[in-house]
Chains A and B, each alone.
Chain A
Amino acid sequence: MDENRFDDVLQDLPRSFNAPPEPPLDEMWTVIEDAHFNAPVPISATRGMTSPAPWLAAAAALIIGIGVGRYLPRGGNLPGNAASPTAIATNPASATSDTSAVADAYRDQTTRYLGQAAALLVSLPAKDANGRTDAAFASKATDLLVTTRLLIDSPAAVQDPKLHSLLEDLELVLVQIARLRSERNRGDLDLIHQAVEQGDVLSRLNSAVATNQSSD
């Protein structure tokens, strides 16, 4: 094939390569509308404000806060103070070590959470599991969902794009698992397994846990 012929081939590509048919707009919208607007569990739009149970968000925030606090050095500054310009100006070395302690604390909490999420996904039942099992998983997923949404905005995720992307994928999977409470969503287990596999979520989870533990 000569140069001119190749140019013709390139110009003809929009017609010759996978020319799309008319999009089935109404058909696709029905699925999207049902998944988003008719979903029993509100998705990220309500993150941190009207999560499945508001008290659960408060409890999760408290647990993460206490967890972070336990890892901070005695007499250390609070996260807000650690980054304050006055504190850094008066004692730069202390400010740096406090910031690093906060990061360590968030990392430890994140590692623990990732381990719990991995355990949940590994033990996720097959599609023929009974309703009671589904409800137990849905409940655990709802707890983890609250923590996920808090961690997505935490310093641990903000500073680590890989972790941030993993948490976002996990959020979607957990939303699906949380919906298993509803009778009509029982058939979604297959889709959940698919989502976990396609996003390579489990191996990314294990690798994140391993990375965090090795940097301890």
Chain B
Amino acid sequence: MPFPVSNLTENGGDRDQRQIYDRVNETQLIARVIAGDRLAGRTLYDTHAPRVYSLAYRLSGDAEKAREFTQDTFIRAFSRLSQFRGDAAFSTWLHRIVVTVVSNARRSELRMAREVLLDEAHSIEFSAPEAEPDLKECIARAVDNLSDAYRMTLIMHDIEGYTHAEIAGILGVPEGTCKSRLSAARAQLREKLAAFRE
């Protein structure tokens, strides 16, 4: 074993152990989590949760959903940790899970929204025209109306600052595809915002 258990358990207090874990490399940390060590789990979580939450929030635009998605992501990840073979970076593997969790939830929401719209279509009433939306609202709508692949790429690259190599690894597509998706996403966004007058 690369990291002796006795050294960890003999140090008094969680804080001391956490400080030790901060110096342990990720592979050893993962092995500890698989063995059921919750402090190692917390250390791994503290390292990655802020970025996972941030992406979940950007993609969902809702604090409660971002919280649920982050929780689901780590519960899934920890339960499958023994399947992580280290072919990709742990953060890439983890981000693949959050992207899947968010996409599944989004698909489900869109399906439900379509059903509600169909129901409402039967009882449609004329209402007063909405006030002209401001730029922030226009941008939010324009980004939300992009296809999933374009939206995800734009948010990850232009907003969250992921590199093309990272996005390609997370979404499982070649880097070239990632670049062309970003370019198409920006073009669609430009087109949608073209009519906006300040």
Binding site for B on A (CB under 8 A): 1, 6, 9-10, 13-14, 16-18, 20-21, 23-25, 27-29, 31-33, 35-37, 43-47, 168, 172, 175, 197-200
Contact for B66 among A20, A43, A198, CB less than 8 A:
A20
Contact A32 B74 (CB under 8 A): yes
| Interface size counted on chain B using CB atoms at 8 A | 52
A18: chain B residues within 8 A (beta carbon)? 57-61, 140, 159
B194: chain A residues within 8 A (beta carbon)? 1
Contact A47 B36 (CB under 8 A): no
| A6-B67 CB under 8 A given contacts A36-B78, A45-B34, A198-B105 | no
The CA of A31 and the CA of B70, in the complex, are separated in Å by 10
Contact B61 A44 (CB under 8 A): no
The CA of A17 and the CA of B142, in the complex, are separated in Å by 11
| A28-B71 CB under 8 A given contacts A17-B159, A20-B58, A37-B38 | yes
B83 within 8 A of A: yes
0/1 interface trace, chain B 51-69, chain A, CB 8 Å (1 if under): 0011001111101001100
| A28-B67 CB under 8 A given contacts A9-B193, A199-B104 | yes
| A198-B78 CB under 8 A given contacts A17-B139, A25-B46 | no
Contact B54 A20 (CB under 8 A): yes
B177: chain A residues within 8 A (beta carbon)? none
The CA of A164 and the CA of B77, in the complex, are separated in Å by 16
Contact B42 A29 (CB under 8 A): yes
CB interface residues, B 168-198, toward A, < 8 Å: 186, 189-190, 193-198
B24 within 8 A of A: no
Contact B36 A25 (CB under 8 A): no
The CA of A29 and the CA of B159, in the complex, are separated in Å by 26
Contact B67 A35 (CB under 8 A): no
Main secondary structure of the interface of A (DSSP, over half): helix
Contact B53 A13 (CB under 8 A): no
Chain B residue at smallest Cβ distance from A197: B108
Chain A residue at smallest Cβ distance from B50: A23
B50: chain A residues within 8 A (beta carbon)? 23, 25
The CA of A6 and the CA of B139, in the complex, are separated in Å by 11
Contact A35 B75 (CB under 8 A): yes
Contact B186 A43 (CB under 8 A): no
Contact A172 B63 (CB under 8 A): no
Contact A23 B53 (CB under 8 A): yes
| A23-B104 CB under 8 A given contacts A17-B140, A44-B82, A175-B79 | no
0/1 interface trace, chain B 71-94, chain A, CB 8 Å (1 if under): 100111011111100000000000
The CA of A44 and the CA of B59, in the complex, are separated in Å by 28
Give the Cβ gap from A86 to chain B, nearest Cβ, in Å.
Answer: 30
The CA of A163 and the CA of B58, in the complex, are separated in Å by 31
Contact A172 B193 (CB under 8 A): no
A21: chain B residues within 8 A (beta carbon)? 57, 63
B115: chain A residues within 8 A (beta carbon)? none
Give the Cβ gap from B96 to chain A, nearest Cβ, in Å.
Answer: 12
Give the Cβ gap from A35 to chain B, nearest Cβ, in Å.
Answer: 5
The CA of A25 and the CA of B47, in the complex, are separated in Å by 11
Interface centre among A17, A27, A29, A200, by most chain B C-beta atoms within 10 angstroms, is A17
